Structure 1
Amino acid sequence: MLTIAVVFFAMQLAVLSTPVVQVPGRIDIPLTKRRALQADVVDPQNLQEKLTSVIFKIANGLTAYKANTGEDHPLAAGFVFPPAVGGIAQRASKGTEPLQDDDGSLWEGAISVGTPAKTYTVQMDTGSSDLFLPGPTCRSSCSGHKTYDPSSSSTAVDRRKSFSLAYGGGDTVQGAQYLDTVGIAGLTASSQTLGAASEYSEGFSADYFPPDGLLGMAYQSISDYNAPPLFQTLVAQKQVSQSVFAFKLSQSGSTLTLGGADSSKYTGSITYAPVTTKGYWQVTLDAVSVNGNSAVGPLQSVIDTGTTLIIGDASHVKAFYSKISGSKDASSTVGPGYYTFPCSSTPQVSFTFAGQAFKIDPKLFNLGRVSLGSNQCVGGVVGSQSLPFWVVGDTFLQNVYSVYDLSQNRVGFAALK
């Protein structure tokens, strides 16, 4: 088994100068965040932007699924599409998800593109399926980002197709599609589809979105390009021995492993849950528990490394917080969908997949105090009127080793070492 573990630094940490540690069958490159979302006092505007961004990203995928398959995605039933998207049958041309991360909660890494190869930083996102970078005509809006110029690559081919992705708050990424050679950790994908953006709106400026672009790692059916995502191309071109990748997202050292799961990163066995619809990495969440007692479930969930929080449908999130003593609706202090609990008694929250419960570190569930000196803290599970399902982001994923198995269409979780 060839397993290539790739750990990426945040953009500000000089990715390329970091020594690559090689062991037989694996390449390890360090990865960190700039700093965690958790803070002494929360930033309500930032938290609301995160919530909005996820809704628009999910809308992009549901709309692409309809365009690619001719059928509504099962998760579209009950989903409230943002006005900019206008429903599942209509392709969005404007809208926003800033993917804004001034607190540094993006997992970033390095890829190479073109011939001769040039290196770029990208966010690793299991909640979407497309790769895009700033293009040569993206001027001031892409300032601070490294530009991909197809005319300087001998392997670039113009697909003569455009793309447009809508995100929360009015932001967009749009441009032209190309085929080119893309490399990651010594693996090479030829004729990989990627986007060269002609426009990055404000939410993608370097101040808010440090990486050059974004690398989606979900299924082709939610690709705006309707083309194989990078990992699927690596599998098809036999660049990896197993069609599996895995994440360790942790403050104690983080890795993306391509080609298998790295047993040195987890303890015990891996618990697998089957993918219920091939689009997102969608699995059944058996139960969400508080202090050992089931509060809600079963629920459909999307496993998303590109989402910081855990976001669920408003009714089940309300039911969840009703099991937490002293919790309160924080719509008026933090924003719609958020709840608080007494800082002196952070609850023990766990998520159960395929019959196995996994605990969330109380320090990760607690996002911080509502205000300086307040005795009320903000919880990492947030409600949304738009979602009829749950999006499980880094608040949970930093507690486990997560495995994404493309050949058997399943997601696995194991306890971190």
Structure 2
Amino acid sequence: MLEHVLLLTIWAISACGAPSPSGLGGRFHIDQVHNRNARRNGPVEYAFAHAKYHAPIPKGLSKTMAAIKKVNINAGNATGEVPSWPQELDIEYLSPIMVGEPAQMVWMNLDTGSSDTWMYASTTGEGHKGDQKFYAPEVSKTSTHVPNTSWWIEYGDGTYASGDVWKDTLSIGDVEIKNMTIQTALMASVAMVTDVNMSGLAGLCPNHPSTVMPSQPTLLEKLEPVLDEFVFAADLRYQDTGRFRFGHVPKSDYEGEIHWARMNKTSKFWQFDINSVHVGGTNILLQSTWSFIADTGTTLMLLPMDLTKMYYDQVPGAEYNEWYDSYTFPCNETKNLPSWDFQIAGLNGTVPGHYIAYTNVTEKLCYGGIQPWSAETYGFGILGDVFLKAVYAVFDVQNKTVGFANKKVRA
């Protein structure tokens, strides 16, 4: 699944403590804890986003990815709170979730850009899983196999996972979801297997059906009768503890008011419009309507070319690098990067410049957290974690709206 999983070594996080349940029925939150030992790889994240949305990977980036793969192959020898450990620095967030009776803990990636809930299992074939914690349905007293049902996920870069389907109890903190659809992997590509921490993925996409055939209820559909309010929020943080909250959105989590944007009626994703964009420190302002999706499973901000170019035109020495098919800039400009200011449904918000300084690609060359995307072709741009760390994002499933509020951000 995740292209960056193939290329970057993921280390188990042993310093973090166990989750401590607390809270009220029908609402819970999942904390996120920053992994300071992990690494970033901008081109890998950019390629993964293309693969996830079945977009052709640009020629230069494709060659770069092939070279990186070759190097790695040759070197390859309701109620409760649960901590979540991000992998690869700020890139991937894992949450411990319990499955079955007696409870088995698995580490899941919460993804608002997907609807599948799948995990490695005892039935996963040899060579198709690594040392991840996995689900063993045969030892659960509450598991039931769903006959004549299967699933298959394939990404644009050729990575895949597939398998069969079970029903079992899924527990997050003290919240129990009975007869949850559990997609167990019988096969998975090498790119997934090399992620030594991730047990699977929990999809939170609203209108996109899962890949299970015949169709089965998704995680959001099963959460609806359990939650006090059919809503969840993502409070991601820059190099700091963040949080997913389900069932309730307290005012203490954010500043001011939540501004609500109506979801695109025909979209399968959390899609909404941005009304204006301004690059900090300049008088350049574009007023138009751009459509975006909020995706916790994508790292970068992927913008239409006009917005991307407008930003990097304000960064001395920044250029479009044909080797990566991406924008890079001199690392000595990192502390001077302008902010990316926006307006959504009347909310004026800011992504600080240092959030956009994503990572080094060489000693002197840095990779930007804003990159171009063919929004005209795909109908939307993608606002991933670089953007979401700067806002409080609320996903209202019941009312089909996405809300944004300001919050204190890390300087």
Shorter-chain TM-score category?
Answer: 0.7 to 0.9
Aligned partner of residue 276 in structure 1, secondary structure: coil
> Which amino acid is 1:176 matched to?
D
Distance in 1 between residues matched to 2:257 and 2:14, nearest whole Å? 34
Tell me: CA distance 1:101–1:312, structure 2 relative to 1, closer, same or farther (3 Å): farther
Q: 1:67 is matched with which residue?
A: none
> Which amino acid is 1:310 matched to?
M
Unaligned 5+ segments in structure 2 are 1-10, 59-85
Counting only pairs closer than 5 Å after superposition, residues 394-409 of structure 1 correspond to structure 2 as 394-409=385-400
Aligned partner of residue 395 in structure 1, secondary structure: helix
Distance in 1 between residues matched to 2:101 and 2:150, nearest whole Å? 22
Tell me: CA distance 1:299–1:29, structure 2 relative to 1, closer, same or farther (3 Å): closer
Q: 2:13 is matched with which residue?
A: 12
Q: Which residue, 341, 344, 356 being the options, matches 1:350?
A: 341
1:189-227 Cα offsets, whole Å, 9 max, x none, are 122212100122222134x36221111101243421243
Q: 2:129 is matched with which residue?
A: 142
Aligned partner of residue 336 in structure 2, secondary structure: coil
CA contact (8 A) 1:307 1:393 kept: yes
> Which amino acid is 2:143 matched to?
A
> Which amino acid is 1:48 matched to?
P
1:65-104 Cα offsets, whole Å, 9 max, x none, are xxxxxxxxxxxxxxx5679xxxxxxxxxxxxxxxx96445
Distance in 2 between residues matched to 1:227 and 1:11, nearest whole Å? 33
Range that drifts further, 291-300 or 166-175: 291-300
TM, length-normalised to structure 1: 0.77
Q: Which residue, 366, 370, 390 being the options, matches 1:377?
A: 366
CA shift for structure 1 position 289: 1.9
Counting only pairs closer than 5 Å after superposition, residues 63-78 of structure 1 correspond to structure 2 as none
Verify: 1:256 aligned to 2:244, yes or no. Answer: yes
CA contact (8 A) 1:11 1:121 kept: no
Aligned partner of residue 17 in structure 1, secondary structure: coil
Q: 1:230 is matched with which residue?
A: 219
Q: 1:120 is matched with which residue?
A: 106
CA shift for structure 1 position 11: 6.0
Distance in 1 between residues matched to 2:286 and 2:89, nearest whole Å? 31
Tell me: CA distance 1:222–1:25, structure 2 relative to 1, closer, same or farther (3 Å): closer
Verify: 1:218 aligned to 2:205, yes or no. Answer: yes
Query: Number of matched residues?
Result: 359
Distance in 2 between residues matched to 1:81 and 1:371, nearest whole Å? 25
Q: 1:157 is matched with which residue?
A: 144
Verify: 1:56 aligned to 2:51, yes or no. Answer: yes
TM, length-normalised to structure 2: 0.78
CA contact (8 A) 1:21 1:28 kept: no
What percent identity do the matched residue pairs reach? Answer: 25
Tell me: CA distance 1:336–1:367, structure 2 relative to 1, closer, same or farther (3 Å): same
CA contact (8 A) 1:19 1:29 kept: no
Distance in 2 between residues matched to 1:285 and 1:363, nearest whole Å? 22
Tell me: CA distance 1:268–1:315, structure 2 relative to 1, closer, same or farther (3 Å): closer
Counting only pairs closer than 5 Å after superposition, residues 355-366 of structure 1 correspond to structure 2 as 355-366=346-357
Verify: 1:200 aligned to 2:188, yes or no. Answer: yes
Distance in 2 between residues matched to 1:328 and 1:183, nearest whole Å? 48
Range that drifts further, 168-177 or 335-344: 335-344
Tell me: CA distance 1:13–1:282, structure 2 relative to 1, closer, same or farther (3 Å): farther
Tell me: CA distance 1:326–1:48, structure 2 relative to 1, closer, same or farther (3 Å): closer
